Amino acid sequence: MKKHNFSAGPCILPKEVLKKASEAVINFNGLDLSLIEISHRSADFVAVMEHAKDLVLELLDLKDKGYSALFLQGGASLEFLMVPYNLLPENGKATYIDTGTWSSKAIKEAKLLGNVEVIASSKESNYSYIPKNYEIPSDATYVHCTSNNTIFGTQMKEFPKTDKLLVCDMSSDIFSRQLDFSQFDLIYAGAQKNMGPAGTTLVVIKDEILGKTGRKIPSMLDYQVHISKESMFNTPPVFPVYVSMLTLEWLKSLGGIAGIEKVNEAKANLLYAEIDSNPLFQGVANKEDRSFMNVTFTLTDDSKKEQFDSMWKAVGISGINGHRSVGGYRASIYNAMPIESVQVLVDVMKAL
């Protein structure tokens, strides 16, 4: 039976990417050696790393604009600490917009290093909306936001307009929609939501903003060290970087971000239309802030839960249970999710 993978992460990946990746694990580039046993300093893998970084900047339209792309480790969770280490002076102020679990974790880490002000939050409503109409303090060094909130199913449609440094955690919607990425000074994203397997983290950073905090930064936490060593300061996560490269090649072949955005809009509109028209279901997030990556919804009649669960399991749907913080259901429809799988879910909802 075909499986329809709605998992929030690790994410669904294109089948052609999985096929190429599996072949590389056995025999990479005709070397009769596995990708995961060759030297990361070899010409074969250095070419992978360079191509992956070039694809990132090309797809984000940041090539030759003073940005560096890095593939690091530690997930977005380590970036919660690396960002203030590299951007926040000891007497500076960092400002954060609290829109969910991951932004609240980022706030917690930043507070270990300096003065942090939460300028907006939707915590009081269990993060069901994106805060608006907030003010950014004149003494802020940077503003941190989270573009998409995987657990709660909300997504920022507009970003802060500011002359301060703008930092964004894009872990769960990177490469999914067209944006002016040059408005951001630093973007980071764990690969496992929309780009590749767990194990690497993408960081895209404007070079000129670094080295201005006056801090002594541990080498592994210093972006300038990683840039100078071309993401090779320590042994990189070879397999996740390679699979991310393949996924970026796949995305480019579809017409890049502009091409996949149309597909993502069609998938989200199909599913939200059913949620809004079917009296047995209701959405969790405010309509104007709904995510096109993570669709959260609940049953209006809990007595139907057992029946609904058995129905979606019977057709091969996987990974649709909601996070414990929200309950109900969460359909993650990342770039590689085909619209046919979304239609299968909609058909089950109609049949309930």
Assess contact for 277 and 310: CB atoms under 8 A: no
- The predicted model gives 274-299 an average pLDDT of 98
Task: State mean pLDDT over 34-56.
Answer: 97
| Residues comprising the chain, all counted | 352
Q: pTM for this one?
A: 0.97
Q: What pLDDT, on the 0 to 100 scale, is given for residue 113?
A: 95
3-state helix, strand, coil in the chain (%, to 5): 40, 20, 40
How large is the average pLDDT for residues 2-7? 94
Tokens of 128: 């069901």
Quote the pLDDT of residue 101: 96
pLDDT of residue 306: 97
pLDDT at 235: 96
- 169 Cβ contact list (under 8 Å, min separation 6): 76, 79, 102, 103, 106, 144, 145, 146, 147, 188, 189
Contacts of 22 (CB under 8 A, 6+ apart): none
What is the mean pLDDT of the segment spanning 285-304? 98
CB neighbours of 223 closer than 8 A, spacing ≥ 6?
70, 82, 86, 203, 205, 210
Averaged pLDDT, 317-346: 97
Catalytic residue among 98, 164, 169, 250: 169
Residue 228 phi/psi, 5-degree rounding, is -65, -30
pLDDT tens for each residue of 57-103: 999 999 999 999 999 999 999 999 999 999 999 999 999 999 999 99
Residue 19 known to be catalytic:
no
* Rounded average pLDDT over 21-50: 97
pLDDT of res. 75:
96
Average pLDDT over residues 239-247: 98
The pLDDT, as a whole number, for residue 285 is 97
Say which of 53, 98, 102, 312 is annotated catalytic. Answer: 102
Mean pLDDT (the chain, rounded): 97
pLDDT at 68: 98
Decide: residue 306, CB within 10 A, 0-12 exposed, 13-18 middle, 19+ buried: exposed
- pLDDT range class, residue 2, cuts 50, 70, 90: confident
* pLDDT of 332 strictly over 90: yes
Q: For 127-161, write each residue's pLDDT tens digit.
A: 999 999 999 999 999 999 999 999 999 999 999 99
Return the number of other C-beta atoms located less than 10 Å from residue 31's C-beta: 13
Residue 178 has a pLDDT of 98
* Spatial distance between the Cα atoms of 59 and 176, rounded to a whole number of angstroms: 11
pLDDT, tens digit, for every residue of 175-229?
999 999 999 999 999 999 999 999 999 999 999 999 999 999 999 999 999 999 9
Is 289 tagged catalytic?
no
What domains are defined for the chain? 15-253 (3.40.640.10), 256-351 (3.90.1150.10)
With a cut of 90, say whether residue 106 has pLDDT above it.
yes
Task: Kindly name the residue from 53, 98, 173, 193 that is annotated as catalytic.
Answer: 193
Asked about 193 being catalytic, the answer comes back as yes
| Per-residue pLDDT at 252 | 98
Q: Is the pLDDT of residue 162 over 90?
A: yes
What's the pLDDT at 1?
Answer: 78
